[in-house]
């Protein structure tokens, strides 16, 4: 295990449904530290940049429309094995396959609007953190 940082997003559905505190509480109780945090709304083109890896997928236009449809919360989480532990707390992409007690199993009812994003590997964590935060915005 290594000390890691990862990017977490509470997606527009999580913010509009009043789940900011619920999601952050789960991270805090799991011992993940918050090293940066802000509320913002992506433009469609920023959402397209963030999700560029999915540009050839059939759901790309819908996904980036959804991700730019309202405010999101962006956070840097830090802890031992933070990337995998955040993904465990989130649950599988498809809420129907997410383990009981995970964020997506508990709250998502749509494969696209699934409450949270989390980086999936050290290299994507680094790129995604740099996409949202500059050095003055981190503790
Ligand atoms: P992840 O968020 O669990 O890492 P990815 O495969 O990276 O999942 O997909 C990014 C996001 O795209 C998902 O969180 C979800 O919002 C959306 N998405 C993934 N697969 C589908 C799909 O089959 N239909 C609609 N949206 C999808
Ligand atoms: Mg992903």
Q: Please report whether residue 138 resides in a domain.
A: no
Cα 57 to averaged position of ligand 2 atoms, centre (Å): 13
Residues with catalytic annotation? Answer: 117
Task: Say what the pLDDT of residue 87 is.
Answer: 98
* Residue 1 predicted with pLDDT over 90: no
Q: Please report whether residue 88 resides in a domain.
A: yes
Q: Please report whether residue 100 resides in a domain.
A: yes
Output the pTM of the full model: 0.98
The per-residue pLDDT for range 91-129, each reduced to its tens digit, is 999 999 999 999 999 999 999 999 999 999 999 999 999
The domain containing residue 33 runs over which residues? Answer: 3-133
Ligand nearest to the CA of 86: 1
Q: Please report whether residue 45 resides in a domain.
A: yes
The per-residue pLDDT for range 46-101, each reduced to its tens digit, is 999 999 999 999 999 999 999 999 999 999 999 999 999 999 999 999 999 999 99
Please provide residue 8's backbone torsions phi and psi, each rounded to the nearest 5 degrees: -115, 140
Q: Is the CB of 111 under 6 A from ligand 1?
A: yes
Which residue among 51, 72, 111, 125 has the greatest number of ligand 1 atoms within 8 angstroms of its CB, and so is best to mutate? 111
Mark residue 81 as left, alpha or beta (left: phi above 0; alpha: psi -120 to 50; beta: remaining). Answer: left
């Amino acid at each position: 295990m290594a000390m890691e940082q990862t990017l977490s997003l509470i997606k527009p559905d999580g913010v509009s449904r009043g789940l900011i505190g619920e999601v952050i509480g789960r991270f805090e109780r799991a011992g993940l530290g918050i090293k940066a945090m802000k509320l913002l709304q992506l433009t469609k083109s920023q959402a397209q940049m963030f999700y560029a890896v999915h540009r050839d997928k059939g759901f790309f236009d819908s996904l980036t429309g959804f991700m730019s449809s309202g405010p999101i919360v962006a956070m840097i989480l830090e802890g031992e094995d933070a990337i995998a532990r955040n993904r465990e707390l989130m649950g599988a992409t498809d809420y129907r396959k997410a383990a009981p007690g995970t964020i997506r199993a508990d709250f998502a009812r749509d494969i696209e609007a699934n409450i949270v994003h989390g980086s999936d590997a050290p290299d994507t964590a680094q790129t995604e953190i740099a996409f949202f935060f500059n050095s003055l915005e981190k503790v």
